[in-house]
Chains A and B, each alone.
Chain A
Amino acid sequence: MDFLITILNMLDGTFRVGTPLILAALAGLCSERGGVIDIGLEGKMLGGAFVAATVAYMTGSAWLGLFCAIAACVLLSLVHGYASITHHGNQVVSGMAINIIVAGLAPTIGNAIFHINGDTPPLPHDARFTAITLPFADSLANVPVIGPVYSGVISGHSFTTYLAFALVPFVSWMLYKTRFGLRLRAVGENPEAVDTAGVSVQWLRYRAVMIAGVLCGIAGTSLSTSLGASFIRDMTAGKGYLALAAMIFGKWRPKTTLLACLIFAFTDTLQARLQGVDLPLVGEIPVQFIIMLPYALTVFLLAGFVGKVIAPTADGEPYIKEH
């Protein structure tokens, strides 16, 4: 029974930890399907987290925080778009620039406002997205099997977690079932064809990066107002890059990307649980190696062990219209 509870707790943790990863990976996916590489997920998420926490703290409204975080991330996306779509700049460089700018800018502004080393003060309960208890969760809790799963794992997450999971089928529907999605995929594979069909390549790509901005804004909000209760400098700690890896691992498809995110999130939960535990045969694993686990796994998985990964053909290629 203890074992079962451990497993359920870990699943619960996986969903929580996976939330920003899923949102950021979907952001990267939308952008790259449209042909724009987005290394800046990390920075946008960090920016979103900062804006969400700051606005939520000052106004007391988590929703206003979410809204402003989305606006800020869309703005950052537009900078990325301006460099890489309008000026055909190097997309990786532009993304890195955004990461570094935000890593410096967020604590600078935070310090100017709050004077506590760049972090925000702890958010009051009302200014956060807190756990939502789903209907009947309490009454079902004692029913065997279904009870613990429903009330312990599925219920009790925050709004952003449910939103993240709901967005996976939505993005999938958007990509594969709508005209916009068809064009978006086309612009990542063969922009010439889209151009020939009389559809603006630039405007499509701008919309792709803006969608990425919206999703990063939600991802950042989930970090600082629902997983955590304040903004802490460098709180993304590589999650943006992990999300990017998950998207590649998921071969630029929403459902497989979700799966990849959950695997990374599970490793993360696992490392938190393995710390200081004596394992049979190997003994206690040094904490640094456990922290390393998700990153090492990423390298391992990307080393071709998931089969050949093929990026959208025009991914990272600036489109220069012939005259």
Chain B
Amino acid sequence: MAAPKKLPVWVNAGLIPLINLLAAFAVSAVVILAVGESPVEAAGHIVYGAFGFGEGIGYTLYYATNFIFTGLAVAMAFHCFLFNIGGEGQAYIGGLGIGLVCLYSGGLPFWAILPLAIIGGALFGGLWALIPAYLQAKRGSHIVITTIMFNFIASSVMTFLLVDWLKKPGSQLPETDHFVDASFMPKVHEMFASVGLDVARSPLNFSFLIALLCCVAVWIFIWRTRWGFEIRASGKNPRAAVYGGISPSKAIILSMFISGALAGLVGLNELMGVQHRVVVNFTNGYGFVGIAIALMGRNHPLGIIFASLLMGALYQGGAELAFEMPTLTSDMIWTIQGFVILFTGALEHMFRPQLEALFLKRDSKEGGDE
């Protein structure tokens, strides 16, 4: 075989994902044309809705917060070569943990509730992921299938709890009572207002900062700690890992627990930040979007932040789009997302040969400075 040729880093990490993304948008534009609307007009609404005014930017960042959590979750498992499709269920059950803390922590101040809620969400989400992880590590069940099944099971369990056990007394809706006031996550516009700055009202809240901190923590954990190394090693080559004294089943369980814990934190943003109670289906597909986020972001926290911003913009812009062009409902955003997963994930190498030919030819013209 020919010696492996190297592409410059910016091509690999920047240009190729960008080209793939453009391909996904191009196909989406064809779909919009096919249903009889103008893709240019649609794109205009999306961009204006996402970035055109203060409130829109706030919403974009608020959606991005959810995607950072679920994207990090999927990436965490990916580093161990596990495909965690259960982010949706883990986020949902994690929300239960957060909800319980926020419902029954009367009297505690916010700075005491917050760490408890983080622990509650992480623990519930992590434990929910632990069962498929254990079944994969010890019994060889296929984690893709079990995590999918656990999404359905989580949905049933939560509906049961919200209908039969945790429902607000006297209410017909399947949702819990309001959280105690002290557990509300401070909104960003409120925080700015307290120092005298005027920022547009939006659901963007303090959890955005927690999400960014999680990115740093995940980066340190994966690339700077022994456990992170063990997870990456057993993901790359379980047999070699065993010879290196690493237990792959321990790595599977550890990475899935952390993965579930990260997904479980979605409730910080959704429940403590906005809903102030546990409602049915508050996860709204964010767990699945996490797969796209992790793929686009190449499983790197920095990439995940960019991917989350993009997807957040698509969501917020998509809401604006549905308002301005009623033919294009939120389903269109799912379609675009699917194409993004297809082109950035499954077809990530489609344009590589052409680019390789292009860049390596140019390099050899310049005298091959490798």
- The 8 A CB mask of A96-124 against B (1 = contact, 0 = none) is 11111111110111011000001000000
* Interface pair A238/B331, CB less than 8 Å apart: no
Cβ-based interface call for B221 (8 A): no
Cβ-based interface call for A89 (8 A): yes
Residue in A closest to B164 when the chains form the complex, CB atoms: A286
Cβ-based interface call for A87 (8 A): yes
Cβ-based interface call for A23 (8 A): no
Determine how close the nearest CB of chain A comes to the CB of B29; give it in whole angstroms.
13
Determine how close the nearest CB of chain B comes to the CB of A300; give it in whole angstroms.
10
Per the bound structure, the CA–CA distance linking A261 and B146 in Å amounts to: 17
By a CB distance below 8 angstroms, the chain B residues around A130 are none
By a CB distance below 8 angstroms, the chain A residues around B346 are 83-84, 87, 89-91, 93-94, 97
Per the bound structure, the CA–CA distance linking A259 and B331 in Å amounts to: 36
Determine how close the nearest CB of chain B comes to the CB of A103; give it in whole angstroms.
6
Point out which of A82, A286, A303, A308 has the most chain B C-beta atoms below 10 A from its C-beta. A303
By a CB distance below 8 angstroms, the chain B residues around A304 are 135, 139-141
Chain B interface bracket (under 10, 10 to 19, 20 to 34, 35 or more): 35 or more
Interchain CB contact (< 8 A) of A100 among B141, B152, B288: B288
* Interface pair A104/B338, CB less than 8 Å apart: yes
By a CB distance below 8 angstroms, the chain A residues around B291 are 93, 96
* Interface pair A248/B163, CB less than 8 Å apart: no
Chain A residues 292-308 with CB under 8 Å of chain B are 292, 295-296, 298-299, 302-304, 308
By a CB distance below 8 angstroms, the chain B residues around A308 are 140
By a CB distance below 8 angstroms, the chain A residues around B200 are none
By a CB distance below 8 angstroms, the chain A residues around B149 are 241, 245, 295-296, 298-299
By a CB distance below 8 angstroms, the chain B residues around A104 are 331-338
Chain B residues 270-295 with CB under 8 Å of chain A are 288, 291-292, 295
Q: Contacts A90-B345, A245-B149 given: A299-B338 contact, CB under 8 Å?
A: no
By a CB distance below 8 angstroms, the chain A residues around B160 are 286, 288-289
Per the bound structure, the CA–CA distance linking A302 and B333 in Å amounts to: 34
* Interface pair B145/A89, CB less than 8 Å apart: no
* Interface pair B328/A108, CB less than 8 Å apart: yes
Cβ-based interface call for A323 (8 A): yes
Per the bound structure, the CA–CA distance linking A245 and B135 in Å amounts to: 15
* Interface pair B153/A101, CB less than 8 Å apart: no
Residue in A closest to B351 when the chains form the complex, CB atoms: A87
- The 8 A CB mask of A217-230 against B (1 = contact, 0 = none) is 00000000000000
Interchain CB contact (< 8 A) of A89 among B31, B333, B345: B345
Cβ-based interface call for B38 (8 A): no
* Interface pair A107/B329, CB less than 8 Å apart: yes
Per the bound structure, the CA–CA distance linking A178 and B245 in Å amounts to: 47
Per the bound structure, the CA–CA distance linking A208 and B54 in Å amounts to: 52
Cβ-based interface call for A262 (8 A): no
Interchain CB contact (< 8 A) of A108 among B145, B150, B159, B331: B331
Point out which of A79, A105, A248 has the most chain B C-beta atoms below 10 A from its C-beta. A105
* Interface pair A100/B341, CB less than 8 Å apart: yes
Cβ-based interface call for B148 (8 A): yes
DSSP majority for the B interface?
A: helix
Cβ-based interface call for B173 (8 A): no
Residue in A closest to B329 when the chains form the complex, CB atoms: A111
Cβ-based interface call for B55 (8 A): no
Q: Contacts A79-B342, A288-B163, A299-B135 given: A89-B335 contact, CB under 8 Å?
A: no
Cβ-based interface call for A88 (8 A): yes
* Interface pair B332/A108, CB less than 8 Å apart: yes
Cβ-based interface call for B339 (8 A): yes
* Interface pair A87/B350, CB less than 8 Å apart: yes
Cβ-based interface call for A244 (8 A): yes
* Interface pair B35/A302, CB less than 8 Å apart: no
Q: Contacts A105-B338, A303-B135 given: A87-B145 contact, CB under 8 Å?
A: no
Q: Contacts A89-B347, A94-B345, A108-B331 given: A248-B145 contact, CB under 8 Å?
A: yes
Residue in A closest to B146 when the chains form the complex, CB atoms: A299
Chain A residues 279-323 with CB under 8 Å of chain B are 286, 288-289, 291-292, 295-296, 298-299, 302-304, 308-309, 322-323
Cβ-based interface call for B1 (8 A): yes
* Interface pair A295/B153, CB less than 8 Å apart: yes
Per the bound structure, the CA–CA distance linking A92 and B83 in Å amounts to: 8
* Interface pair B144/A39, CB less than 8 Å apart: yes
- The 8 A CB mask of B331-369 against A (1 = contact, 0 = none) is 111111111011001111110000000000000000000
- The 8 A CB mask of A71-92 against B (1 = contact, 0 = none) is 0000000010011100111111
* Interface pair B338/A112, CB less than 8 Å apart: no
Determine how close the nearest CB of chain A comes to the CB of B46; give it in whole angstroms.
15
By a CB distance below 8 angstroms, the chain B residues around A96 are 85, 291, 341, 345
Determine how close the nearest CB of chain A comes to the CB of B332; give it in whole angstroms.
5
Question: Can you list 15 A-B contacts (CB < 8 A)?
Answer: A84-B346, A92-B144, A96-B291, A100-B341, A101-B339, A103-B334, A107-B331, A108-B331, A108-B332, A245-B145, A248-B142, A291-B156, A295-B153, A298-B145, A299-B150
Interface of B with A (CB < 8 Å)?
A: 1-2, 31, 34-36, 83, 85, 132, 135, 139-142, 144-146, 148-150, 152-153, 156-157, 159-160, 163-164, 288, 291-292, 295, 327-329, 331-339, 341-342, 345-350
Q: What 7 additional pairs, Cβ within 8 angstroms, besides A89-B349, A238-B152?
A: A83-B346, A88-B349, A105-B335, A105-B338, A109-B34, A241-B148, A288-B159
Interface of A with B (CB < 8 Å)?
A: 39, 79, 82-84, 87-94, 96-105, 107-109, 111-112, 118, 238, 241, 244-245, 248, 286, 288-289, 291-292, 295-296, 298-299, 302-304, 308-309, 322-323
Ordered nearest first, which 3 A-B pairs have the shortest CB separation? A104-B334, A101-B338, A94-B346
